């Protein structure tokens, strides 16, 4: 029963559960904990899929008297499982290399076309070496890096936004850079690409991106308050998508984020704690419970 249970768990965690969670509104109250839950969901799906295939392979070893057809089918499933693991490793490397290459290329273009901004000071906010592109449309985004991060804004952003709104935008982008939110999105992207197209879902990636933007919104709200952040988001609502590897303040779930900023800022500690516990249980409990029979069989085989 272990392979069947793990296989069903993998299918549930790959599509139905993410779709249901994606429709819920409560994760917006605890975006940091919700991101951990989404990551746990994806990781548990991968572990369950790997466990299902390895369990079938173990059954063949423990019961060699099975028919030839059963042995071939079980071997094919085990091979497919190994391919999933290889795809996960390959997707992780591919996403990391591709994203950094595109980001490096875009950073080079920005350095060539943009005007280096002076070191911007807004109270306790310091933004070193921003890049200003000559464009009337207001936009702002960042290009994360270990040593060569960039915050890019248009001249329209500097001209059209009020000082507190500009401070909110810059605080938002700095929050992305300091927390390395891009690495979280890379993990979501790699996990999604590891699964075949007919079972993968964009929900986890889209929700992860939205929650990350909400985290950056919270960082800006702590500096300037909710109203300037909301006004800045509305001003940047028409912003085109950020370049690959970049993170933009506007253009992602603007309406939902503005509505959230209009709500009172509360800690929701109990909800956050429950979400963290659910994320831990999602990975640990099914894995341990369903892996025990498989580990027992392996120990018996090795005696």
- Tell whether the model's pLDDT for residue 57 goes beyond 90: no
CB atoms within 10 A of CB 92: 17
Contact yes or no for 195/47 (Cβ under 8 A): no
Note the helical H segments in 118-180. 155-160, 163-179
What does the pLDDT look like over 196-227, one tens digit per residue?
776 677 888 999 999 999 999 999 999 999 99
* The two structure tokens encoding residue 165: 């709104």
Mean pLDDT of the chain: 85
What is the domain range of residue 250? 2-302
Bridging pattern class, strands 131-133 and 150-154: parallel
What does the pLDDT look like over 214-270, one tens digit per residue?
999 999 999 999 999 999 999 998 876 778 788 888 878 899 999 999 988 888 999
Pairwise CA distance, residues 234 & 215, whole Å: 17
The number of folded domains in the chain is: 1
Pairwise CA distance, residues 165 & 250, whole Å: 13
Torsion of CA 48, 49, 50, 51, to 10 degrees: 50
* C-alpha distances out from residue 285 to 61, 142, 281, Å: 26, 39, 5
């Amino acid at each position: 029963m272990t392979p069947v249970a793990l296989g069903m768990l993998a299918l549930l965690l790959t599509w139905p559960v993410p779709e249901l969670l994606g429709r819920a509104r409560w994760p917006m109250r605890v975006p940091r904990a919700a991101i951990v839950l989404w990551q746990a969901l994806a990781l548990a799906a991968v572990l369950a899929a790997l466990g299902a295939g390895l369990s079938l392979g173990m059954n063949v070893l423990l019961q060699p008297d099975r028919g030839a057809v059963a042995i071939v089918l079980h071997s094919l499933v085990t091979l497919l499982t190994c391919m999933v693991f290889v795809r996960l490793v390959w997707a992780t490397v591919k996403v990391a290399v591709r994203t950094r290459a595109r980001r490096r290329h875009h950073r080079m273009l920005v350095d060539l076309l943009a005007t280096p901004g002076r070191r911007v000071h807004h109270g306790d906010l310091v933004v070193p070496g921003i890049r200003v592109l000559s464009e009337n449309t207001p936009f702002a985004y960042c290009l994360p890096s270990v040593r060569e991060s960039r915050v890019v804004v248009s001249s329209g952003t500097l001209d059209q936004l009020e000082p507190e709104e500009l401070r909110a935008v810059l605080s938002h982008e700095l929050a992305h850079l300091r927390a390395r939110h891009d690495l979280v999105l890379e993990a979501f992207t790699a996990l999604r690409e590891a699964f075949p197209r007919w079972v993968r879902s964009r929900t986890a990636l889209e929700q992860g991106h939205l929650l990350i933007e909400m985290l950056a919104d919270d960082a800006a709200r702590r500096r300037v308050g909710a109203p300037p952040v909301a006004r800045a988001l509305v001003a940047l609502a028409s912003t085109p998508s950020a370049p690959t590897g970049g993170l933009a303040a506007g253009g992602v779930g603007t309406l939902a984020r503005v509505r959230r900023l209009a709500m009172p800022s509360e800690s929701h500690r109990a909800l956050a704690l429950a979400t963290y516990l659910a994320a831990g249980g999602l990975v640990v409990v099914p894995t341990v419970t369903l892996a025990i029979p498989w580990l027992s069989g392996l120990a018996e085989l090795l005696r």
